[in-house]
């Protein structure tokens, strides 16, 4: 279950958010603790200042008026402060009036009040269990410190404030987490949906169904992946169709001569053909069809090797002038018989490193096609030339030219204008590629065609 993107993504989102929330909360708590600590100290400092001023005023008035009953002011203020804030007020130092009590509890701890400087400290008052933050402020009489007022606040007050903050943060965090979780779930579903659809489509393709509807992946990386996946599935479908067509064509091509051979052999065996001339004719057909079969099987084998890149080309010195001369010789007799003007034009005599037999095979194929296309009394030009870096052998005929729709498919296996196997040009092109060259074709309906083999010099 945890290996599924659908589960992993939202969990990952949530874990990230949780971690970020936790770190932020810890930092916030630490900052708040420091702030609350400073705030509490400055509060007790202010309170101590206020009470010590009141106390000093009361002492002064007593001295001035020699009335001892006005001492109630500071003790009254201290009592109210204690009542409202829960803070403790202490007096440290000499009695304000000789023989008189301060009216405030004394601090059971020695602190430096003589220097007359304000101070802050932490302590545990006598009889108390908790620690207190405290601030002391001097009581000044005629510029001299006579004692000190100390205001103390329990540390637990600060902790309680921090705890209340943590509690609120926890509630807010929980709410945030629920919202973030829902959002993460929604977003990851949106993100994962096209991936899942693509994965289902891939399953279909793996199962052999190439006509699968590829989902729309939108823009971005997933969209790009989806688009390419669709193209890939289409190409696979095309390849499968091509393979099926190829097999069908091969079996058809093989069966045609076989049917002819079987027919003639059966006719002779059954004594249907008894006339020696007719028998000789039948045998000639059988021989021709057998030769055709042999050629066909050889071509298919060549094609299969070329397809599998298991075709080995020789690298030898090839005298191109000699090579086109041989091709010319092969066809000159046929040209003479049919009154076709076969012209050989050698504009350069390059020697290249290539596979001579394969080059000759291609040129022979061009010439054979040209002779098939050219009517008796026509003209065929065989030309050898060299231009910077490449050698060209061109065969130009005065045949009918090639229709655009056939031209498109001409180099595919078993595409034939009629009569042939439709493998010649396919093999020629594969061979030319294996030799590092290419085939160029110019053709014009009613005028003729020019097939040119271009090889690296
Ligand atoms: P095949 O000659 O066995 O049919 P190819 O692959 O050599 O196979 O040729 C395929 C088809 O291309 C031919 O059947 C023919 O229709 C057309 N073709 C090839 N060369 C020429 C040409 N010079 N002029 C007109 N058509 C041509």
Q: What is the pLDDT of residues 283-330, one digit of tens each?
A: 999 998 898 888 888 888 887 877 766 677 888 999 999 999 999 999
What distance in angstroms lies between residue 371's CA and the mean position of ligand 1's atoms? Answer: 10
Q: What is the pLDDT of residues 402-414, one digit of tens each?
A: 999 888 889 988 7
Placement of tokens 């590829």 in the chain: 214
Burial class (CB in 10 A: 0-12, 13-18, 19+), 150: buried
* HSE, side-chain direction, 13 A CA sphere, residue 19: 6
Q: What is the mean pLDDT of the chain?
A: 87
Query: CB atoms < 10 A from the CB of 33, how many?
Result: 15
Token digits of residue 439:
């085939």
- Closest C-alpha to 304, from 360, 364, 361, 247: 247
- In short, whether 410's Cβ falls inside 6 Å of ligand 1 is yes
CATH 3.30.565.10 fits 316-456, yes or no: yes
Q: What is the pLDDT of residue 325?
A: 95
Residue with the smallest CA separation from ligand 1 atom 15 is 417
Please state, in angstroms and rounded to a whole number, the distance separating the CA atoms of residues 276 and 110: 147
Q: Are 394 and 381 in contact (CB under 8 A)?
A: yes
Average pLDDT over residues 342-348: 95
Query: CB atoms < 10 A from the CB of 261, how many?
Result: 19
Q: Measured from the CA of 416, which atom of ligand 1 is nearest?
A: 14
**Proportion of the chain above pLDDT 90, given as a percent:** 37
Q: Which of 300, 362, 369 to mutate to test the pocket of ligand 1 (most atoms within 8 A of CB)?
A: 369
Q: What is the pLDDT of residue 83?
A: 84
Under CATH, which architecture does the 5-159 domain have? 2-Layer Sandwich (3.30)
Taking CB atoms within 8 Å and a gap of at least 24, the contacts of 66-73 are 68/97, 68/100, 71/96, 71/100, 71/103, 72/103
Q: Measured from the CA of 422, which atom of ligand 1 is nearest?
A: 8
Q: What is the pLDDT of residues 5-22, one digit of tens each?
A: 778 888 888 898 889 988
Residue with the smallest CA separation from ligand 1 atom 20 is 369
Q: What is the pLDDT of residues 403-453, one digit of tens each?
A: 998 888 899 887 887 767 788 898 899 889 989 999 999 999 999 999 999
Placement of tokens 């690296």 in the chain: 456
CATH number of 220-307: 1.10.287.130
Q: List the domain boundaries for the chain.
A: 5-159, 220-307, 316-456
Q: Are 387 and 457 in contact (CB under 8 A)?
A: no
Q: What is the pLDDT of residues 56-95, one digit of tens each?
A: 888 887 766 655 555 556 677 778 888 888 888 988 888 7
């Amino acid at each position: 279950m945890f290996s599924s993107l659908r589960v992993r993504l939202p969990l990952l989102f949530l874990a990230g958010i949780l971690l970020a929330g936790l770190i932020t909360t810890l930092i916030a708590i630490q900052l708040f603790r420091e702030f609350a600590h400073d705030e509490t100290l400055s509060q007790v400092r202010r309170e101590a200042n206020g009470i010590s001023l009141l106390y000093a005023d009361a002492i002064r008035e007593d001295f001035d008026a020699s009335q001892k009953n006005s001492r109630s002011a500071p003790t009254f203020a201290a009592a109210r402060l204690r009542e409202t804030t829960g803070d403790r007020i202490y007096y440290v130092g000499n009695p304000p009036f000789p023989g008189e009590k301060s009216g405030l509890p004394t601090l059971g701890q020695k602190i430096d009040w003589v220097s007359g400087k304000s101070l802050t400290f932490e302590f545990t008052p006598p009889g108390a269990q908790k620690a207190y933050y405290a601030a002391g402020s001097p009581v000044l009489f005629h510029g001299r410190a006579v004692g000190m007022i100390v205001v103390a606040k329990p540390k637990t007050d600060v902790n309680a404030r921090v705890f209340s903050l943590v509690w609120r943060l926890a509630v807010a965090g929980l709410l945030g987490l629920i919202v973030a979780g829902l959002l993460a779930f929604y977003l990851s579903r949106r993100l994962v949906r096209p991936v899942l659809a693509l994965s289902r489509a891939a399953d279909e393709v793996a199962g052999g169904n190439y006509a699968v509807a590829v989902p729309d992946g939108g823009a971005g990386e997933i969209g790009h992946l989806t688009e390419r996946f669709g193209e890939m599935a289409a190409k696979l479908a095309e390849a499968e169709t091509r393979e099926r067509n190829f097999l069908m064509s091969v079996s058809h091509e093989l069966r045609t001569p076989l049917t002819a051979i079987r027919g003639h052999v059966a006719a002779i065996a059954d004594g249907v053909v008894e006339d020696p001339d007719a028998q000789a004719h039948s045998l000639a057909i059988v021989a021709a069809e057998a030769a055709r079969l042999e050629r066909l099987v050889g071509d298919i084998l060549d094609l299969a090797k070329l397809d599998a890149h298991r075709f080995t080309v020789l690298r030898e010195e090839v005298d191109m002038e000699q090579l086109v001369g041989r091709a010319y010789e092969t066809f000159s007799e046929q040209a003479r018989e049919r009154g076709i003007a076969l012209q050989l034009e050698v504009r350069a005599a390059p020697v290249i490193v290539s596979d001579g037999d394969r080059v000759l095979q291609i040129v022979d194929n061009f010439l054979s096609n040209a002779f098939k296309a050219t009517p008796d009394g026509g003209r065929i030009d065989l030309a050898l030339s060299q231009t910077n870096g490449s050698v060209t052998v061109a065969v130009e005929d005065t045949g009918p030219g090639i229709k655009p729709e056939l031209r498109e498919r001409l180099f595919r296996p078993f595409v034939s204008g009629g009569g042939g196997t439709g493998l010649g040009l396919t093999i020629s092109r594969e061979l030319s590629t294996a030799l590092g060259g290419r085939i160029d074709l110019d053709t014009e309906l009613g005028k003729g065609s020019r097939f040119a083999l271009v090889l690296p010099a």
